[in-house]
């Protein structure tokens, strides 16, 4: 960080917050609020006289609450700039001045409470998002007694306890009475690798195993008399030199017990802890007593990630971390052009992986900034100004803000920001937006060719380019046989599927139409597939009003790696096709000839807290839930994603 602060081409803005980001690749404008430090960072020498006089004492966040600091402080050792800062919410010297002792103690006169926040506007060509990660709070895991028992600490708190810069200055002691522990237990996977959302997250946090092994070896090197046990379900030591460190730890006398404790209790008033655990290797129930327990907590997305994600229109994975454009081909790119991700913002990482990805992200940004011209794929949308009715619906559904619109004005399409998802073209009721290479005429031509002969035996399937279409490829490469009568129309996103395409396919004699795209919270275009769901709800209602079977229109999610799932989807769809009679197909043509194509309204953000009645289009099971929830979009009985939203009612 000191090298960054000294670099002539880097402007370092500490204690600042990004409030807004506008623009597109090569032309971003960032609005930044630089918070008032109340201390002149250029004049402050870091002598500490002000902190000695400050009467306010609060828990130190850097020491995980195990130490204390004053209201005027240096955030952490080696902070850049190495100058004090006043926390205005804790200081007694403002509005009105009731203290002012720090001002009197400062010989340099560099403290002033008249300083105001500074608002900056910066033009940049590329953005790297590196918001990092937080650690899981194990308070919800009541069986481990965190916060109930003083000698149960997290791995982060343990790091501060043994650090030479920590509250004990490197002298090991347990928090309850500061005595040096004789027996220490480590519990792995706290808040990780669980399918219970109340107990943590389903993913592996990557760094926990080696962090515990490192800590255990550190204790053995400096306090060889300490007895150490590690409770685990699996040990993952896959990095360079990691397995060697694990073997060295075992040779040093660290015991590794396969099994996670189910109960922890305090022994009398001594502060010692009794652990009950099932040793799955020895196949017996064991009880162990420790002076101190360390919970190896997992990683969670940083709290500041979500606001930044919304500002620059990024996708996120089901785990809550940011999603890259392609895990193998574009590991640091994002769907938003000119925006890159680095470090633990994308997934839990150790320092080495974070540094590697940061180098890749900076290289990608440098390549972009060194170009005189920026090339884009020829799949963007085009506006026909003669047809446009200036309604602005296209701008409301664009996930990348590539369309700007003001009332009674023509929308403006920014080609550099457009990624070609086609959501705007499907939303436009007047056909004013055309898609290059994925035009309406091309789709209609494909439907005509598919259903020209033996239409009753065909399955019309619209597949997302990034997930479902790739999933079909995975099934083919893996020799996973599925019905050969499926005819797939590739689109960049399921949101490109215009309701008129489906109406046209049914009128041409299609017995079954399948729409398939990315998983509900895993869309390549951020949240474009939510528009797909909204349009499908309207189409199901339209089919019902026309007196037709709604289960002939199916919606399924499938990822690129789920070849087996694609096989299952197509087999189930074929069963549905076989149940459709020729009389039904003929009746459909007649019923839809003059029927109006339903287009439901574009929901507002406030609708996210509304309830809905759901029914599965595959098995018919019905239930209640939140209509924007990913969990409620999966049938609890047959695990299908072809879910129909029946009714919405406001929460009281």
> Per CATH, is 603-652 categorized as 2.20.28?
yes
Question: For the chain, what is the mean pLDDT?
Answer: 90
Tens digits of residue pLDDT in 6-42: 888 889 999 999 999 999 999 999 999 999 999 999 8
Q: Are 390 and 403 in contact (CB under 8 A)?
A: no
335 confidence band (pLDDT: 50, 70, 90) = confident
pLDDT at residue 521 in the model: 75
Phi and psi torsions of 123, nearest 5°: -95, 125
66 confidence band (pLDDT: 50, 70, 90) = very high
pLDDT at residue 601 in the model: 65
- Residue 335's alpha-carbon distances to 17, 239, 316, 527, in angstroms, are 24, 30, 11, 11
Tens digits of residue pLDDT in 400-445: 989 999 988 999 999 989 999 999 999 999 999 999 989 999 999 9
Structural fold of domain 376-430: Alpha-Beta Plaits (3.30.70)
* Class of residue 389 by CB neighbours under 10 A (exposed 0-12, middle 13-18, buried 19+): exposed
Q: Rounded CA gap, 364 and 222, in Å?
A: 44
Q: Rounded CA gap, 262 and 331, in Å?
A: 39
pLDDT at residue 605 in the model: 45
> Per CATH, is 134-300 categorized as 3.50.50.60?
yes
Would you tell me how many other CB atoms lie within 10 Å of the CB of residue 460? 27
Q: What's the chain's Rg over C-alpha atoms?
A: 30
Q: Are 261 and 276 in contact (CB under 8 A)?
A: yes
Alpha helices in 513-643 (DSSP H): 529-545, 563-578, 582-592
What residues does 381 pair with on adjacent strands? 435
* Class of residue 334 by CB neighbours under 10 A (exposed 0-12, middle 13-18, buried 19+): buried
Place of tokens 């439907």: 447
Query: What percent of the chain lies above the pLDDT cut of 90?
Result: 70
- CA dihedral sign of residues 601, 606, 607, 608: positive
**pLDDT, greater one: 327 or 84:** 84
- Is the pLDDT at 336 greater than 60? The verdict is yes
Would you tell me how many other CB atoms lie within 10 Å of the CB of residue 85? 21
């Amino acid at each position: 960080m000191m090298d960054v602060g000294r670099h002539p081409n880097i402007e370092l803005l500490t204690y600042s917050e990004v409030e807004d980001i506008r623009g597109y690749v090569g032309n971003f404008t960032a609005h930044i609020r630089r918070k008032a430090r109340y201390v002149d960072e250029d004049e402050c020498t870091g002598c500490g006289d002000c902190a000695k006089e400050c009467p306010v004492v609060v828990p130190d966040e850097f020491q995980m609450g195990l130490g204390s600091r004053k209201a005027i402080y240096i955030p952490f050792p080696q902070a850049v700039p190495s100058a004090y800062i006043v926390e205005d919410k804790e200081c007694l010297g403002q509005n009105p001045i009731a203290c002012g002792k720090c001002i009197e103690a400062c010989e340099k006169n560099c403290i002033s409470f008249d300083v105001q926040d500074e608002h900056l506007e910066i033009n940049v060509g590329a953005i790297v998002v590196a918001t990092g990660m937080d650690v899981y709070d194990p308070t919800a895991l009541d069986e481990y007694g965190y916060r109930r028992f003083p000698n149960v600490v997290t791995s982060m708190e343990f790091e501060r306890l043994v650090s030479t810069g920590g509250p004990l200055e490197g002298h090991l002691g347990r928090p309850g009475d500061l005595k040096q522990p004789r027996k220490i237990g480590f519990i792995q996977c706290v808040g990780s690798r669980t399918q219970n959302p109340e107990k943590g997250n389903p993913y592996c946090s990557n760094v926990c195993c080696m962090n515990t092994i490192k800590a255990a070896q550190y204790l053995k090197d400096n306090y060889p008399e300490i007895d150490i046990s590690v409770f685990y379900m699996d040990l993952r030591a896959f990095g360079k030199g990691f397995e060697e460190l694990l073997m060295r730890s075992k040779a040093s006398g660290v015991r590794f017990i396969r099994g996670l404790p189910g109960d922890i209790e305090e022994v009398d008033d001594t502060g010692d802890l009794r652990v009950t655990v099932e040793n799955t290797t020895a196949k017996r129930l064991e009880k162990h007593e420790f002076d101190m327990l360390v919970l190896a907590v997992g990683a969670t997305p940083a709290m500041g990630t979500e606001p930044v994600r919304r500002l620059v229109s990024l996708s996120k994975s089901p785990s809550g971390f940011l999603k890259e454009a392609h895990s193998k081909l574009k590991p640091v790119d994002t769907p938003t052009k000119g925006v890159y991700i680095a470090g633990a913002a994308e997934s839990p990482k150790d320092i080495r992986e974070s540094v590697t990805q940061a180098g890749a992200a900076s290289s990608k940004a440098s390549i972009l900034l060194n170009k005189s011209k920026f090339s884009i794929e020829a799949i963007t949308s085009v506006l026909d100004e003669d047809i446009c009715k200036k309604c602005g619906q296209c701008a409301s559904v664009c996930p990348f803000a590539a369309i700007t619109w003001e009332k009674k004005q023509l929308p403006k399409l920014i080609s550099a920001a457009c990624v070609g998802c086609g959501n705007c073209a499907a939303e436009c009721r007047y056909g004013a937006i055309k898609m290059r290479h994925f035009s309406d005429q091309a789709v209609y031509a494909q439907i005509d060719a598919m259903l020209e002969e033996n239409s009753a035996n065909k399955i019309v399937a619209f597949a997302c380019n990034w997930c479902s279409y790739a999933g079909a490829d995975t099934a083919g490469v893996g020799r996973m046989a599925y019905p050969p009568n499926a005819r797939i129309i590739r689109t960049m996103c399921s949101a490109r599927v215009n309701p008129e395409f489906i109406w046209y396919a049914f009128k041409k004699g299609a017995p079954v139409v399948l729409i398939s795209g990315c998983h509900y919270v895993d869309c390549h275009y951020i949240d474009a597939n939510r528009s797909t769901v909204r349009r499908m709800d309207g189409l199901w209602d339209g089919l019902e009003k026309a007196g037709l079977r709604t289960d002939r229109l199916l919606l399924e999610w499938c990822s690129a790696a789920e070849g087996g799932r694609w096989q299952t989807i197509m087999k189930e769809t074929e069963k549905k096709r076989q149940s459709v009679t020729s009389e039904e197909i003929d009746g459909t043509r007649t019923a839809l000839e003059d029927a109006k194509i339903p287009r439901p309204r574009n929901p507002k953000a406030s609708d996210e807290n509304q309830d809905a009645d759901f029914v599965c289009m595959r098995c018919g099971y019905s239930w209640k839930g939140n209509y924007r929830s990913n969990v409620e979009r999966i049938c609890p009985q047959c695990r299908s994603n072809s879910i129909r939203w029946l009714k919405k009612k406001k929460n009281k």
